[in-house]
Amino acid sequence: MSSPDISLSGIWFDGTRPVGVPATLLASRTGATLRSTSHSRDYNTDRLQVSPRTGGADRFILFPDGGQLQCADGPELDALPQESMSEGIVAWLESRVAVALTGIALVFGMVGTGYFYGLPWASEKIADHIPMETEARLGASSLNWLDDQRWFEPSKLSGKKRAVILKGFDQLSAGLPIRRYLHLKFRNSAVIGPNAFALPGGTIVITDQMVNNARNLAEVEAVLSHEIGHVVHRHAVRSLMQNSAVAVLATAITGDAATLSTIVAGVPTVLAQTRYSRQFETEADDYAFALLKKHGQSPLAFAHLMERLAKNKGGKKERFSFISSHPVTAERIRRAREAAKRR
């Protein structure tokens, strides 16, 4: 080797063991010599390759026999053959903290925009193309699962009371485009408590506890009108798609497939305790107020029931509470009262 142009010190890895030893590389245009405490090897300089520059991180000189020399980055490395010939702009960007922070902000911005705007928009468009019959099968299997797990028991309401409520439900839903998909189910449930929810496909479940909390049929029908609104707007299946998309993204980021399998296995539970967004609740409320007024009923019934449920609940946190799953109760009561005043 002619007199060396470059002298680099670093840690040598021989390519067979994960143990590095101090070494020095002496290189000229024609040849290079690697010297460590245990050996000395000669190479053709043009057979070496320097790894791409990544910010201020150490770089690696790759040798034809599989070995690598890890050393600090420096301008002398530019005189050796490069593994990548197009790293200039990338290395420039990676060395700028402001560029990195801007990139992180852009990523968070894109994820946030996708979550708050893109995902709801996509779920709505997709839900419009899912046949109600397909949704109904999901809803039926979910209800069967909840029955099998003894979350629900057969209703203890009298046949006469159920008949009166069913008649009111039929009158509310008469003439609606989704009428043939709407089915009302009664269940007694100490687990769910005073509650009502719409399953995918049009099945609406109301508990004995909710009926018993209502002082009259008008309050029961106000709740049912709200749940019909969820069915009309396909909120159950849209929520499932949004939650599933988040689970898929989490799985992709973390590589934890158990997250996704847990979501899939827990679909019935998710449906039973679905926490709709404020937008969904507002849409269902508006639909209910309009439907009630169409049938000559006042949205005040909805406000009265909500106030009573909130009072009975107090400050208790209940996993399946109708109130706790419906945010900003006071705001919704105010909107119901305002809707009742409008002609």
* Residues labelled as active-site residues: 227
- SS3 for 251-276 is HHHHCCHHHHHHHHHCHHHHHHCCCC
Q: Which DSSP symbol is given to 314?
A: T
Closest CA to 29 of 87, 81, 86: 81
Q: At CA 316, angle to CA 187 and CA 266, rounded to 5? A: 50
Name the β-bridge partners of 189. Answer: none
**Cα torsion at 119, 122, 123, 128 (round to 10°)?**
170
CA separation, residue 291 to residues 137, 167, 232, 240, 333 (Å) = 27, 16, 12, 26, 17
Alpha-carbon span 69 to 22, nearest angstrom: 9
Structure tokens at 338: 């305002």
